[in-house]
Structure 1
Amino acid sequence: MNIDETKAILTLANALDPRVQVNKPTLDLWAKVLHGSPVAACHAAVSLFYERYAEPTNRPVVDAPMIRRIISHETERAAAVTQAIEPRKPVLTEPRIRQRVLDRFRDEYEAGRRQGNGERAYNTAMRATGDHRQAQAAQREAEAAA
């Protein structure tokens, strides 16, 4: 935003509220604070500020940081409204996704069961014979059978 655009916004604020001074220091301050803000958003923020305060007796004097705050608040509000309108994507509602999850669960369950059968066979063979090689052979047979 350049100085002429800032001066137009400051003049608009002065037209709505004569307490806003249009002078060089105020213009420089507003230009510095509102630098990078869109001109249309600044005009809308000044108008919105004066729409919010219906009674002129209780209304504070508008300043550049307040305008910047209104712009950021309205931008965040518009983004939140846009996000709220977009539907959420379903996670597990499609049958093939459910089937994939169930298949993975079944595979993991079977792998755990085979491993448990092998460990059980190993432990039983070790208790019965005391021979490590025979226990390992029994464990491999149990895992293969399952």
Structure 2
Amino acid sequence: MIATSDLLEVIENSNMLATYISQSEIANKYRQAKESLAHNLEAQQLIARFSKMKEEYDEVQRFGKYHPNFTEISTKMRHLKRELDLNEAVAAFKQSEADLESLLNEVSAIIAGAVSPFIKVPTGNPFFDNRSCEGGCGSGGACNCG
């Protein structure tokens, strides 16, 4: 591929955009929440317990309701998942992760839309997936784009 001035300008602008996103308040909150989670002993213990329980749960799921400990392990897994989700450090990390993902999805949709309204951006978020829908959004018709 031959590097043209247009290509070099696009690369330079994309690097600037990446720097702006990386230095944004949302990205900083994400890094702080990740660091806080890594240093939170209670959260790390919960994560370790959850990982161990997940292995047991996966084993039980192989056999489904026919496994002798299906109900017991499934119930323990749900309780542990709830406990993990209610932990402040875990919740803060998940929220900051969702905020950063939302920003990246929005930027992706804006870039794709600037090129063509027919470009599909797989964001996993119906708010962004049905932004124009003139050519079909891939949501199975949920947005009535036809």
TM-score (norm. length: structure 1): 0.25
Q: Which has the larger radius of gyration?
A: 1
